[in-house]
Chain A
């Protein structure tokens, strides 16, 4: 079903709003006075984390909103690239911070860091690693589409929840209000997305079948 012109303009407005919520925190963190005097690797590592957080908000919207915001096939393609981008951003976040301060990052990974937010970052990290492994090997593992969908949704909620706690507890370059905004948006998008993909969508389809 081709989208009407009214639908298209509504879509455009929705994506503009999404882009604003995703980019404002990144820009605000980039221009923060706290970046002054920081070493290059620290700035890169920190900013990669901010970008990952924004991507986590956009990621569920790429699939769960189909066909309202995007045709399903195109959304899935974008969602795959989004997943790769999140893994890359998190790898850069940890890699650059490790290069800047191996002590701090090793402490975090070994769960002996003095900072309470490190634990949540590590929880989020391992859920992300597991998701990436499952995504890469689900055909080889003969994971049914339904089981993959459920596993991915559970892990996604864990990644975003732990990631959001990690971000909120950090006192750093992010601006507080835009940080809170993107965190709430990411939690909402992920929760609603998981419900839509696993519960509401299948229910609707079943009802339509019964009606047919």
Chain B
């Protein structure tokens, strides 16, 4: 004797279609670039992370004010904070898109591996409010991040990441 658990009637089909649609409408991948505690596996480069990257952005005091990007940079494995590393950040603001020179700058991590940069309020670039963070020096493996803001009205974003040892540094791949 077989028992049918689900009768595929119209309501079930409609509910299924609707729920599939709702799942598809979930826009925010909620994964941050933050380190998984304990193991400190290296953070992976994000798709589109290197878009509009220009190497060698100058060190800046700030890129305006209204939004703060900050975070801790750690070494893969041990998780020890990495001091005095150059981190480049770029984002779209009301001054223009990501290629606008005044929307791009580098900062150094402090003694606790922390970086921090004030930026003008972020505006969506190509349909999504996000910032770009890059590490592109010889010390560790190159990393390009593209974290997305939950809302373009957010005032800050904390992005911690973990750098892998420099093996086969490919630089910008695209």
Contact = CB atoms under 8 A, between A and B. Distances in A.
Dominant SS among interface residues on chain B: loop
Contact of A115 (B49, B95, B127, B152): B127
B100 interface: yes
B100 A37 contact: yes
Interface in B124-140: 124, 126-129
A169 B97 contact: no
A166 B42 CA distance: 33
B47 interface: yes
Contact of A39 (B51, B97, B148): B97
Interface in A10-58: 33-34, 36-39, 42
B127 A117 contact: yes
B123 A114 contact: no
A79 B46 CA distance: 43
B1 interface: no
B46 to A, nearest CB: 6
A107 B46 CA distance: 13
Given A37-B100, A39-B96, A165 B24 contact: yes
Nearest to B49: A114
A104 B26 CA distance: 21
A108 to B, nearest CB: 9
B37 interface: no
B94 A36 contact: yes
B19 to A, nearest CB: 15
A170 interface: yes
Contacts of B27: 116-117, 169
Interface in A150-176: 165, 168-172
Contacts of B124: 34, 170-172
A34 B124 CA distance: 8
Contacts of A165: 24-25
B96 A170 contact: no
A115 B93 contact: no
Q: Which of B48, B49, B99 has the most CB of A within 10 A?
A: B48
A37 B127 contact: no
Given A104-B126, A115-B126, A115-B128, A37 B24 contact: no
A7 interface: no
A37 to B, nearest CB: 4
Contacts of A33: 94
Q: Nearest 5 CB-CB pairs, A to B?
A: A170-B127, A114-B48, A37-B96, A114-B47, A171-B124
Interface of A: 33-34, 36-39, 42, 97, 101, 103-104, 107, 112-117, 165, 168-172
Interface of B: 24-27, 29, 46-49, 51-52, 93-97, 99-100, 123-124, 126-129, 146, 148, 152, 174
15 contacts: A33-B94, A34-B94, A37-B94, A37-B95, A37-B96, A39-B96, A104-B51, A112-B47, A114-B47, A114-B128, A115-B127, A169-B27, A169-B127, A170-B128, A171-B128
Given A103-B48, A114-B47, A171-B124, 8 more contacts: A37-B100, A101-B126, A107-B47, A112-B47, A115-B127, A117-B27, A117-B127, A172-B124
